[in-house]
Structure 1
Amino acid sequence: MRSGLEPAANLDALDALVASAVAGGAQYVLSPEVTVAFAENREGLARVAGPAEDNGDIARAAEIADAHGVYLHLGSLAVALPDGRFANRSILFGPDGAIIASYDKIHLFDATLPGLREYRESATYKGGDVAVVTPAAGFNLGMAICYDVRFPALFNALAGAGAEVISVPAAFTVPTGQAHWEVLLRARAIETGSYVIAAAQGGHHENGRATYGHSMIIDPWGTVVARIEGDEPGIIVADIDLGRVADARGRVPALANARPFSLSVNQSARKMPI
């Protein structure tokens, strides 16, 4: 998608894309991070984001799922919290519009970038602390969002808890997308023997940001089985074959072979003269 600042327009765009996906045979549809509104700052979010209770945008997404009879996974929207911050929340709706599961993005990007301004996602968002695996459209779905893709421990935990497909809705910047997007997604698929479905924001947005796009679906062997080449809005559709999950995990049983270990750091050795 290329979400703007107005939730109604973004949800209309989502509705049309879901219709196209369902016409192409989709039973599960994932949208990108910040689908509902891509605001630039805390003040912009405060204008469009409300609490989870009686939330009109969540209700509209539920109506879209119900109207199309599809598992609709809203990649994320901002949900207002009592402390003045927001949750970056991913929500899975069933084909009847009922909420099946939700996940609040755990990892927040706090960094001082060389030559650029300090970036503190935690000033606007409160990170979640619960990883989520849930049934969806005949498979077990593990939920992640954007920056989470850089933390393999989360993906291993999801797969260890039974996830066969892991979602990564995102709004990657262009420089990091060009350098890291595909390699990180493929690595997470290979490490866990899981399908990885990554729906991305793409292009120049109303808030002045530019995102990388290149949505893709990756199989458990790390092969990209579907992708959007570029940053234009659109859909991709692929079959999920759970036999390929079992095959990949059987051929490289990394999850089964993982062992706990302790860590020894020899501080005295580091002080010895060379």
Structure 2
Amino acid sequence: MSLGDDTGRTRTRLPEGGGDPYGGARRSGRSSSRSLVTVVGVVVLLIAAIAFANRGGGDSDGEEGGGGDSPKAAATAPSGEKPVSAKEAGVPAGFPHTRQGAESAAANYAVTLVSADILKPDRRAEIVRQVFVTDKQASLEDRFDKAYTKEFLNSIGLDENGNAAPGEAYVSRTMPIGTKVTSYSDTAAAVDVWCSGVFGTAGEKTTNPVTSDWFTIALQLRWADGDWKVDSFAQKDGPAPVPGDDKASTAEEMATAVQEYGGFTYAR
């Protein structure tokens, strides 16, 4: 699926031919939850996303050496820094005012923005107020509400409160694989978060089964109110590995796993 077009629609990428195994590999269908996060982000902030994608160097931070756009040999190696200990509205908070703090914030915000909670009206309002800079909150909350309508939620098997039908469990869980800083200053940072995720509804009669996907979220962060906050975000597919031969779990096994295995707070 592309980032979306001017009509707000999404489209499924069909398998491609050729000798490249990545070109012909099966790509999973986009989860409805993540699709609308993408659409909302692109509609609101497309111009900013394009600007950030084409931005050059200018990294003023010297923690790891080199310019802000230059790749680091240990880009995904842990720094040894302790993760944040505070949470606000269920979202990690209080990230250090450093390049590594920006990476940690971006990873945790990526998880939050593509979570099942974003479909729940009460939780969505809390998430928007915690994750985004103050001057973007009102417009984004309104656009999220217009995107996640009762009709849309019903179309993916959820009620107006974002809850699955009895006996089913809606799954939307994102796992950051790594982060990359594309620009950094004391007041702003652009961070790409490479992710894998599982999305869909676990249930015996579901028409939206849980599938896996790979994608990258580009977040523009701003240092505001003593923490890193999201100013804008965009999303693209991949990089994705060649699918393995894993046997798909049953709906019951998937629902149980999501309930029993908790998530993480991510630190760079």
Please indicate the TM-score interval, normalised by the length of the shorter structure.
Answer: under 0.3
Greater RCO, CA 8 A, separation 6+: 2
TM-score (norm 2): 0.23
TM-score (norm 1): 0.23
